[in-house]
Structure 1
Amino acid sequence: MSSLQDHRIRYFFEAVRLGSVRAAADFLDVAPSAVSRQISQLEHELATSLLERHRRGVRPTESGERVLAYYRQRLAQQELLMDSLQSLRGLHSGSITLAAGEGFIEDLVVPLTSFSLAYPKIELKVNVCGSNEVIRQVVEDEAHIGLVFNPASDPKIRSLAHHPQPVCAIVNPEHPLAIHQASVSLADLDQYRLALPEVSYGIRQIVTQAEHQQGISLAPTLTCNTIAMLRRYALLGGVALLPTFVVADDIRCKELVALSLQNAVFASTQTHLITRLGRQLSIGANRLLNQMLAEMTAFQPH
């Protein structure tokens, strides 16, 4: 492809990434008509339709997906070239983006600090988000590496390491469930104030699977997008469904108790360290990835 076509592909890429031609125009600081014109010319040159337009914005056609894959690969190759040149100077510049669920933040501090001490000139960016967003950022090359709890199957991601992380009912020691039961069924949960993460979190997707299997529909009294609030809710007498590693310190201090859930699906959940399938990471990103792989035991249940 010519450089002119590559320039046009960027307009197409931003329209898809941002969801509309107008949003792409605002981001690129050009008129919407300029974005539409560049995309139309690209479609003409490639003799195929790249965008489907609907009331809520735009989405790529099957041909458009292939053009986007080419463009992302091209950007990744540019990054590798710059990284290889930087490596000749001893990794004195560059940046690495890691997407991770909120529950991993405490355990990430150690490997990220060690890496920063070894390579202080490399900027580390951490995006904290739900499981679906971690996968999206890795697939679309917005993040080099992802650390995610129980991700949905996706042919575009590669799992480099995984560890069991069962989901439990988390309560304080005075809660009736902690006093009278060693394990909990979904029916038991329906009697108490239940807090769950929103649907973009891997935990909620596991709960939905268990509900379907047992024909039960839970009615949470609290739904939120932060582990910190779920933890606090449990401390104050509610019930939260969480993997134990995110409240390990509270369990060690006996401020919270983890009760096993009787449905087998809750025992099958795992933490995964992921990258996009086929993506060649930069030297710096590879070194961080290898360090995280070596220290993956930090993400196992305590």
Structure 2
Amino acid sequence: MSNAIDENRLRYLFEAARYGAVRAAADALGVNPSVVSRQIALLEQELDAALLDRHSRGVRPTEAGELLIEHYRRHTVDRDDTLARLRELQGLHRGHIDLVLGEGFVADLMGGSLGEFWRRHPRLTISLELAGTSEVIRAIADDRCHIGLVYHPPQDPRIRSCAAIRQPIRLIARPDHPLAKLRRPVKLREIARHELGIMHAGYGTRQLLAMAETSEKVGLSPKLTTTSISILRHFVRSGLGVTLLPAFSVASDLDDGSLVAVPVDNVLLASAEAQIITRLGRELPNAASQLLRFLIGRMKAFRPGRR
């Protein structure tokens, strides 16, 4: 077995494992699938170890493959972070930040926080990736992104919560809706009698709602299930029904009075949190650290007791 490991071949292995299929990895890399297969085969030959298990639905890494993938991931992150710090030491004041977030944070982020950050740091660039709760955690744990904005994530030993602020799930309705006129917290049983739109099961709001249903032995039958908060906003604004979301995710609608946020009488829904997360043990480059501190201090989602 050779002492040197070809980094390019490691990248092919990494991408194949990431996408779960050689063809998908090849599409992402812009090469022919045979190139990916050949390079991984050569790596297996050099190391005298099987690195991928092939099955009908794609590929998955073996234990040896997982070890190499983890090595490649950490090496890549360390290299990128070191280069970023070198640029900072050289006084270039440049940098790039990868941010992953749930859709509910978009309006808050774009409504002023990001613009103010760029006015202070005009030479920094940012990429934004929208994802559900599970995907946000995976992107941070796998070091694909520096910072994640996520709503009520499950505990994960790979993740560090840098800020956690209670942001209860509210009933979001038009002011003229019967439930909005009650002028008191509403119960899940009352909500179940009305047309309801909710997020898909991969999102934190839906996962928490499922737990609340179980705790109260109430079954909600949504008329609409979606991966888009924007669609839910239009669903409610059009008078088609109500939804269940944290207030900050529809802040502009609440501010202009087109929608209202009604407390829900449920301990689980009242305990939900908005969090900013990073990977445990990762030292962020200066640019990402600056953005992290800025978001904690500026975003409405991380201000306690707003609504």
Tell me whether 1:39 sits opposite 2:51 in the alignment.
no
2:44 match: secondary structure: helix
Looking at structure 1, the residues matched to 109 and 180 of structure 2 have their Cα atoms a distance apart, in angstroms, of: 30
Deviation for aligned residue 1:239 = 0.9
Partner of residue 281, structure 2:
278
Question: How big is each residue's C-alpha offset from its partner over 1:200-259, in whole Å with a ceiling of 9 and x where there is no partner?
Answer: 211111111112223332111111222122122222331110111122333344332222
Partner of residue 235, structure 1:
237
Looking at structure 1, the residues matched to 301 and 223 of structure 2 have their Cα atoms a distance apart, in angstroms, of: 32
Task: Decide whether the 8 Å contact of 1:171 with 1:240 is kept in 2.
Answer: yes
Question: How big is each residue's C-alpha offset from its partner over 1:80-135, in whole Å with a ceiling of 9 and x where there is no partner?
Answer: 22112211332443311111111212221333223222222221111222222221
Looking at structure 2, the residues matched to 81 and 21 of structure 1 have their Cα atoms a distance apart, in angstroms, of: 31
Deviation for aligned residue 1:184 = 2.0
Q: 184-193 or 141-150, which moves further after superposition?
A: 184-193
Q: Which letter does structure 1 place at the counterpart of 2:198? A: L
Looking at structure 2, the residues matched to 53 and 213 of structure 1 have their Cα atoms a distance apart, in angstroms, of: 42
Q: Which letter does structure 1 place at the counterpart of 2:190? A: D
Q: 247-256 or 183-192, which moves further after superposition?
A: 247-256
Looking at structure 1, the residues matched to 158 and 93 of structure 2 have their Cα atoms a distance apart, in angstroms, of: 31
Task: Decide whether the 8 Å contact of 1:19 with 1:59 is kept in 2.
Answer: yes
Looking at structure 2, the residues matched to 183 and 61 of structure 1 have their Cα atoms a distance apart, in angstroms, of: 52
Partner of residue 145, structure 1:
147
Tell me whether 1:112 sits opposite 2:105 in the alignment.
no
- 1:156 aligned residue (155, 158, 181): 158
Task: Decide whether the 8 Å contact of 2:105 with 2:301 is kept in 1.
Answer: no
Query: Where in structure 2 are the equivalents of 1:64-75 lying within 5 Å?
Result: 64-75=65-76
What is the TM-score of this pair, normalised by structure 2?
0.89
Q: Which letter does structure 2 place at the counterpart of 1:133? A: E
Q: Structure 1: 5+ residue runs without aligned partners?
A: none
Looking at structure 2, the residues matched to 66 and 57 of structure 1 have their Cα atoms a distance apart, in angstroms, of: 19
Looking at structure 1, the residues matched to 246 and 28 of structure 2 have their Cα atoms a distance apart, in angstroms, of: 39
Change in Cα spacing, 1:47 to 1:267, as seen in structure 2 (3 Å) is: farther
1:216 match: secondary structure: coil
Deviation for aligned residue 1:4 = 3.9
Question: How big is each residue's C-alpha offset from its partner over 1:138-183, in whole Å with a ceiling of 9 and x where there is no partner?
Answer: 1222211001111122221111111000001111121111223612
Task: Decide whether the 8 Å contact of 1:107 with 1:299 is kept in 2.
Answer: no
Looking at structure 2, the residues matched to 4 and 66 of structure 1 have their Cα atoms a distance apart, in angstroms, of: 13
Task: Decide whether the 8 Å contact of 1:91 with 1:119 is kept in 2.
Answer: no
Partner of residue 197, structure 2:
195
1:151 match: secondary structure: coil
Q: Which letter does structure 2 place at the counterpart of 1:40? A: A
Partner of residue 101, structure 2:
100
Looking at structure 1, the residues matched to 122 and 183 of structure 2 have their Cα atoms a distance apart, in angstroms, of: 50
Looking at structure 2, the residues matched to 228 and 34 of structure 1 have their Cα atoms a distance apart, in angstroms, of: 41
Partner of residue 55, structure 1:
56
- 2:291 aligned residue (280, 288, 292): 288
**How many percent identity over aligned positions?**
43
Q: 273-282 or 64-73, which moves further after superposition?
A: 64-73
1:261 match: secondary structure: coil
Change in Cα spacing, 1:263 to 1:94, as seen in structure 2 (3 Å) is: same
2:98 match: secondary structure: strand
Partner of residue 223, structure 1:
225
Deviation for aligned residue 1:268 = 0.9
Tell me whether 1:76 sits opposite 2:73 in the alignment.
no
Q: Structure 2: 5+ residue runs without aligned partners?
A: none
